Amino acid sequence: MKGRDWLVTEDGQYQTCQSVRAWDLLRDNYRFYRFLTEVEDALSDTEDETSHLPEIRMLVRRLIVNSYWVQSRYLEPSSKTGISVVLLYDELGFPFTVQTVTLAPGTSSKIHNHGTWGVVAVLKGEERNTFWQRTPDLNFHDKIERTGELTLFPGDIISYTPDAIHRVEAVGTQPTVTFNIYGETRMQERFEFDTVSHIARNF
């Protein structure tokens, strides 16, 4: 599974990052629990939320290269909402959650940030990311401005700083499946943005 690595920051800019070659990540008997332990170790070594993103991206790539189990842990999208989520890991006292998300073609999210770091790998389908940055003025403190878009394909991995603002949409003719890992969300810093009213609401 080929792919590119990306980083999105709070100014709405995105950049390619150095990616480890898949064949350098091949491991015998690489299990999900090993991945969880390695992520925990990576997080314990730093207090800066962005500095560990390169290592987390590498660990995610190692997992999806070696684990058919993870790649198969998803549901078909809901006929009502167009989205399905499988929670793979969410343990009290540990500062991250892991899930797979399936979006039906044409399904899109609200414009939002996460209030924490995140790393997302596309397993199947295509996902269009649109990015924004905050552009407050005297009248609208929560005004945002679109900065660009990027379409991701299977094997691509994208990472976000806590204040990065984006919207995702499943494009193409088949559902989009992603593997998502997020840090511990600071709910007071997680927002949904309205580009008409220029209001941000906690969600």
pLDDT of residue 1 exceeding 70: no
Q: How many CB atoms lie within 10 A of CB 36?
A: 19
For the whole model, what pTM was predicted? 0.95
Give Cα separations from 96 to 17, 56, 88, 90, 190 (angstroms). Answer: 22, 11, 11, 7, 15
Spatial CA neighbour of 184 closest among 52, 53, 60, 93: 93
pLDDT at residue 188, as a whole number: 86
Per-residue pLDDT, averaged over 127-136, amounts to 97
Q: Would you give the distance in Å from CA 168 to the centre of its chain?
A: 10
CA distance 128 to 149: 7
Can you read off the two tokens belonging to residue 122?
């596309």
Q: Please answer whether residues 166 and 190 qualify as being in contact, where contact means their C-beta atoms are separated by less than 8 angstroms.
A: no
Q: What does DSSP assign to residue 52?
A: T
pLDDT of residue 93 exceeding 60: yes
Interval 35-72: pLDDT, tens: 999 999 999 877 777 889 999 999 999 999 999 999 99
pLDDT of residue 2 exceeding 80: no
Tell me the pLDDT band of 154, cut-offs 50, 70 and 90: very high
CA distance 171 to 199: 27
CA distance 2 to 152: 12
pLDDT at residue 203, as a whole number: 86
Residue type, position 1, single letter:
M
Pairing label, strands 157-160, 126-134? unpaired
Per-residue pLDDT, averaged over 174-182, amounts to 98
Can you read off the two tokens belonging to residue 173?
């003719």
CA distance 121 to 179: 5
pLDDT at residue 187, as a whole number: 81
**Least reliable range by pLDDT among 1-5, 82-86, 173-177, 179-183:** 1-5
Q: Please answer whether residues 181 and 39 qualify as being in contact, where contact means their C-beta atoms are separated by less than 8 angstroms.
A: yes
- Averaged pLDDT of the chain: 94
